[in-house]
Structure 1
Amino acid sequence: MQARKGDWVVVRGHQVGEPDRKALIIDVHGRDGAPPYVVQWDDGHESTFYPAADAVIERHAAPAPPR
Protein backbone atom coordinates (compact mmCIF):
# COMPACT_ATOMS: atom_id res chain seq x y z
CA MET A 1 0.00 0.00 0.00
CA GLN A 2 1.31 3.43 -0.94
CA ALA A 3 -0.07 6.84 -0.04
CA ARG A 4 0.98 10.47 0.23
CA LYS A 5 0.12 13.38 2.47
CA GLY A 6 -3.39 14.59 1.73
CA ASP A 7 -4.74 11.17 0.71
CA TRP A 8 -7.49 9.51 2.73
CA VAL A 9 -7.47 6.06 4.26
CA VAL A 10 -10.88 4.39 4.56
CA VAL A 11 -11.42 1.42 6.87
CA ARG A 12 -14.50 -0.57 5.93
CA GLY A 13 -17.03 -1.50 8.62
CA HIS A 14 -16.61 -5.05 9.93
CA GLN A 15 -20.28 -5.79 10.57
CA VAL A 16 -23.49 -5.12 8.70
CA GLY A 17 -24.60 -1.58 9.47
CA GLU A 18 -21.25 -0.52 10.94
CA PRO A 19 -20.08 2.69 9.22
CA ASP A 20 -16.75 3.06 7.47
CA ARG A 21 -14.07 5.12 9.24
CA LYS A 22 -12.11 7.75 7.33
CA ALA A 23 -8.81 9.45 8.16
CA LEU A 24 -6.72 12.13 6.46
CA ILE A 25 -3.07 11.16 6.01
CA ILE A 26 -1.04 14.01 7.47
CA ASP A 27 2.40 12.36 7.35
CA VAL A 28 4.00 9.28 5.77
CA HIS A 29 6.80 7.58 7.71
CA GLY A 30 7.49 4.64 5.40
CA ARG A 31 9.74 4.58 2.37
CA ASP A 32 8.17 5.51 -0.98
CA GLY A 33 4.70 6.07 0.49
CA ALA A 34 4.58 2.89 2.56
CA PRO A 35 3.10 2.73 6.08
CA PRO A 36 3.11 3.71 8.85
CA TYR A 37 1.00 6.82 8.37
CA VAL A 38 0.14 9.59 10.79
CA VAL A 39 -3.56 10.17 10.32
CA GLN A 40 -6.29 12.43 11.61
CA TRP A 41 -9.53 10.48 12.03
CA ASP A 42 -12.96 11.85 11.20
CA ASP A 43 -13.61 12.29 14.95
CA GLY A 44 -10.57 14.60 15.21
CA HIS A 45 -8.00 12.43 17.00
CA GLU A 46 -4.58 11.66 15.51
CA SER A 47 -2.71 8.37 15.55
CA THR A 48 -0.03 6.34 13.84
CA PHE A 49 -1.76 3.86 11.56
CA TYR A 50 -0.64 0.60 9.96
CA PRO A 51 -3.38 -0.36 7.45
CA ALA A 52 -4.75 -3.90 7.29
CA ALA A 53 -6.62 -5.66 4.49
CA ASP A 54 -9.84 -3.80 5.33
CA ALA A 55 -8.31 -0.40 4.49
CA VAL A 56 -8.15 1.35 1.12
CA ILE A 57 -6.45 4.57 0.03
CA GLU A 58 -8.46 7.28 -1.68
CA ARG A 59 -6.19 9.56 -3.65
CA HIS A 60 -6.49 13.27 -3.11
CA ALA A 61 -7.21 14.83 -6.49
CA ALA A 62 -4.59 17.39 -7.48
CA PRO A 63 -6.00 20.80 -8.33
CA ALA A 64 -6.38 21.51 -12.03
CA PRO A 65 -3.58 23.64 -13.47
CA PRO A 66 -4.49 27.26 -14.20
CA ARG A 67 -5.37 28.07 -17.80
Structure 2
Amino acid sequence: MYAAVGDRLIVRSNRVGSPIRDGEVLEVRHPDGSPPYVVRWSDTGHEALVYPGDDAEVHHFHHEEPASS
Protein backbone atom coordinates (compact mmCIF):
# COMPACT_ATOMS: atom_id res chain seq x y z
CA MET A 1 0.00 0.00 0.00
CA TYR A 2 1.29 3.42 -0.97
CA ALA A 3 -0.18 6.89 -0.44
CA ALA A 4 0.61 10.56 -0.87
CA VAL A 5 -0.58 13.63 0.97
CA GLY A 6 -4.15 14.41 -0.11
CA ASP A 7 -5.11 10.79 -0.84
CA ARG A 8 -8.12 9.21 0.91
CA LEU A 9 -7.74 6.21 3.19
CA ILE A 10 -10.88 4.05 3.18
CA VAL A 11 -11.31 1.41 5.90
CA ARG A 12 -14.05 -1.20 5.48
CA SER A 13 -14.70 -3.21 8.62
CA ASN A 14 -14.87 -6.98 8.34
CA ARG A 15 -17.86 -6.97 10.72
CA VAL A 16 -21.36 -6.77 9.25
CA GLY A 17 -23.08 -3.47 10.01
CA SER A 18 -19.91 -1.60 10.93
CA PRO A 19 -19.47 1.77 9.24
CA ILE A 20 -16.97 2.47 6.50
CA ARG A 21 -14.46 5.09 7.64
CA ASP A 22 -12.54 7.46 5.44
CA GLY A 23 -9.97 10.10 6.05
CA GLU A 24 -7.54 12.41 4.31
CA VAL A 25 -3.85 11.51 4.38
CA LEU A 26 -2.13 14.53 5.93
CA GLU A 27 1.38 13.14 6.28
CA VAL A 28 3.35 10.23 4.86
CA ARG A 29 6.26 9.13 7.05
CA HIS A 30 8.33 7.30 4.41
CA PRO A 31 9.66 8.66 1.10
CA ASP A 32 8.28 5.64 -0.80
CA GLY A 33 4.70 6.32 0.42
CA SER A 34 4.44 3.24 2.63
CA PRO A 35 2.62 3.32 6.01
CA PRO A 36 2.22 4.68 8.59
CA TYR A 37 0.17 7.75 7.68
CA VAL A 38 -1.20 10.67 9.64
CA VAL A 39 -4.90 10.72 8.76
CA ARG A 40 -7.74 13.15 9.56
CA TRP A 41 -10.93 11.07 9.86
CA SER A 42 -13.92 12.65 8.10
CA ASP A 43 -16.47 11.49 10.69
CA THR A 44 -14.74 12.95 13.76
CA GLY A 45 -12.05 15.33 12.49
CA HIS A 46 -9.61 13.46 14.74
CA GLU A 47 -6.03 13.17 13.47
CA ALA A 48 -4.23 9.90 14.14
CA LEU A 49 -1.16 7.92 13.14
CA VAL A 50 -2.53 4.94 11.21
CA TYR A 51 -0.98 1.63 10.26
CA PRO A 52 -3.59 0.39 7.75
CA GLY A 53 -4.56 -3.26 7.75
CA ASP A 54 -5.96 -5.59 5.09
CA ASP A 55 -9.35 -3.89 5.36
CA ALA A 56 -7.98 -0.56 4.07
CA GLU A 57 -7.45 0.89 0.61
CA VAL A 58 -6.06 4.15 -0.73
CA HIS A 59 -7.97 6.30 -3.22
CA HIS A 60 -5.36 8.43 -4.92
CA PHE A 61 -5.96 12.14 -5.44
CA HIS A 62 -4.95 13.20 -8.94
CA HIS A 63 -3.92 16.81 -9.40
CA GLU A 64 -5.18 18.29 -12.62
CA GLU A 65 -2.63 20.10 -14.73
CA PRO A 66 -3.60 23.68 -15.60
CA ALA A 67 -4.74 24.08 -19.20
CA SER A 68 -2.20 25.84 -21.34
CA SER A 69 -3.39 28.72 -23.50
TM-score, scaled to structure 1: 0.88
Secondary structure of 2:15's aligned partner: coil
Shift of 1:51: 0.7
Bigger Rg, structure 1 or 2: 2
Identity of aligned residues (%): 40
| Structure 2: gaps (5+ residues) | none
Residue in 1 that maps onto 2:51: 50
Partners of 2:50 and 2:15 in 1: how far apart? 21
Question: Given residue 5 of structure 1, which amino acid in structure 2 is its aligned partner?
Answer: V
Cα deviations by residue, 1:1-54 (Å, 9 ceiling, x for unpaired): 111000011000222222210010000002310111111011100000011110
Shift of 1:65: 2.5
Question: Given residue 30 of structure 2, which amino acid in structure 1 is its aligned partner?
Answer: G
Report the number of matched residues. Answer: 67
Secondary structure of 1:51's aligned partner: coil
| Structure 1: gaps (5+ residues) | none
Partners of 1:11 and 1:34 in 2: how far apart? 16
TM-score, scaled to structure 2: 0.86
RMSD: 1.2
Which structure shows the higher helix fraction? 1
Residue in 2 that maps onto 1:21: 21
Secondary structure of 2:32's aligned partner: helix
